[in-house]
Chain A
């Protein structure tokens, strides 16, 4: 394919490096330095997409991220599609494969284009009107239709294979945008000694200077001056330059998010590189230098491929050597389009006519065009275009003094370049929560007062003309630096020739001589919103621009309406007969342009999404084939199936082994807090329901901790290691919460207490050995501790050694069997475990997991906080009034236990539940009712909290919270199951060894 529309020389492309790529499967050639848009244009391709609603053929309109039409999907491999990339931002590389969107089967023949013929159906608010009735159509007709039609582009189907990086950065001055204002600001700030970050969404820094053919700065061509300025910045250690980096989010306190595209432009990226990097920047000062965006003209058929912004035509020509057309009509209301005309003419393009809305165009830009011999028509408006997939001609009309239009005939052309003037790009200022202010002279919204430490520089705050923009940029950089350092310097502002400010501009729909019922002039190209749609919305009662936006979808494009908003606003304002500031402007929000999910997720995915905590014995359990369950961030061994065993088989075997012989269990994840100080006992006495003052050294006590509202928040075993030292355990999931709760009271309520808390959760590995043979198993390994029940009874703690390792040995039980919990320093956990396991295995014992632990404790009626309790349960509800120290003057939550709603009869109480059919295992959470089929709206009596098969009982069993449960012993109630209600008997929650003789043996 030849590049028919490529200039013979010039531009910033490397003509010695051809690049082959495909678009919709067809091969094209461009040059290194091309964007997808510039390469397509060089190949004469304007038609690049179909519009969202009407599927109208659409061409490239802009040369920037505000591009509404040229959206493409790019996949480096199957299933990895990135949709909605803006072709002017896509840099081509060898082998690039781009696909257009919103068309089937092809761009030039698209079935969906039938929507265009049905366009009366799709007027403003069609979502709200068309699909209302009949109701039965919703599921089968409307929803499938909307689902297939909705959405831009195709989402990837496979998990993203790319890597994404995160980087936190700090700087004195962040400059967003590297055109003349941004370069000047960064230079001034850097010369003042400030730490500077300069970012720009484009592949090259320099902004408009890169396509300025005629201006000179300091006697150098503008582009050379830019190169020098960039080089000077890059040589400064305190400056970070970030091309291909979009400042997409301006948040509180100068927290600014940038998205850096690291490898998307490379043919064969090094796999060690991330695809994109999220920069989270905290800047002391921010300079917004995001420029201005040229406004389209709103005339009938302004969406025909080949119609493009005038400045875009100049950018493609001067920067990329790509001509928009060979015979061009320029429609404008503004001087700057004349620069495009002059540059095109100089490149050999036939400029048919400049159609200027203004009756008497004048000034330096107009003079330049006139002296280049270009035909200029004043009071001249484009009233339509012809051509199917590309513009073939433009209709022109003369605007008479009364505002009416008479036809002037047609002008043949293969491209129409338009300019309605310039809209300052206030998106980031608006994101910073600043309020834009309408400037009547500028005919634009400009940044108002700064809410954060930021300032705008250059055309984004209404300063135009290269000399003025540079001066503004230097001042902004210097002032930003001055706010940070006292050493701010005022650099000499270079002298500029050329680059004069252009006057003029228009807003809203243009006059024409066509039948208004039959023509459409587009305002928002991406969402297919026409001037008529906006007028209709106003007529239907939507008077605020925020409502008009949502009703018509204008300004909801990927550029948030930077291209379209002002025209929509103007049409609304004229229809409402209210000045623009009274109609308002929609708020620009983060992100500035679409950001990939990968960039937001960065490294937080897969195993690295959250820390995965493993115990020192984790690998052993893996080797033994354990299944694991997640308990907060921990991986805990759930059960240890032997070959061929189901979970049920394994748990039944593990339970029986513990009851009959001995089991070994990894209890490392329990939270541990060392409570130390002269007032340690007093403190624990205040935070637990149980009395602690008289707990002897070497003794353990089970404690319940309430919140101030009286509800159980945690439980655990507390050991008194020394007079002033306690070893407190918490639930696995509750450890951080409990520590914060205790610190809160210590620091804020009782700062007079001499007691301190230290988390020791990870200091210790904990090996639970439970069962009748527990003592026999550990005895040979223990030194310095008399394990006899007389010397070391149930609920006691001793310090000594096991396997030569220092230990805190707890004699305690959560299973109902005699048992120990061996605390050893974490790094020694595995070797002690191996030694104990050796002995356990020798006597026929087994490892057990959390499921068996749950069953064994349920057989004993022991609660699990968070399973039997739900944050509304007091000790008496779960039958643990015995753990509440009645003689205590106070403890956290004590007063609440006397609240009227707590002492009232009818509260739910913990009971045991046995199904009449011993094989039925109830579902946890199932409702308990008095009748098998209660009348509708009968409140349930309660619910099942734990339910298991018990090998000790040889049948199923359950725990439940039931209203007045303790008064219902022996009653028959009903529990819902998937197969209907089943009858159950209410029994004591202690199913096994009610006398408790086993654990103290």
Chain B
């Protein structure tokens, strides 16, 4: 996994609440057996005016000029800003893969849905929860100046706006450590293989029916 330490980038403002994972990446693209290549279909239903299917040449599709992703002023933004309950709905990690494949490294919102939040950390995408006031401040700044840069410092747990306003965010220490070091969860867990075996031995005594093989 790619490390995340600091990032200074433009912000793309998506002024919607309850952005669900069906909207982030529609179902027809979930048929892929790959992890890459979802970027062109990020927010597909909102971004294009015509319906799309896997395998289409997306450069030939009609863009929705009213959708923020197609606004040239925000091109190259690596931070997505949204309203409450971002990433609600299905558990599809494809939603995170679409965001990172497109180029986002951070999503800022007042709240996130649990599964999306957890999936983000596994892919080097940093979800940042900020209070409404802070979110509104960054929205206002971005609307006034689409070129405005925001700096994210994971070590310090801060978001700094172009105007120099600093907002602190919470993150659990273990997730922070993994992101800062680009660590793979599975490798970390397997260091505790003996603990897992010891748990299994004890559990087998207490609940032997959980260890009767499935046929």
A in complex with B: no
Residues of B within 8 A of A (CB): none
Residues of A within 8 A of B (CB): none
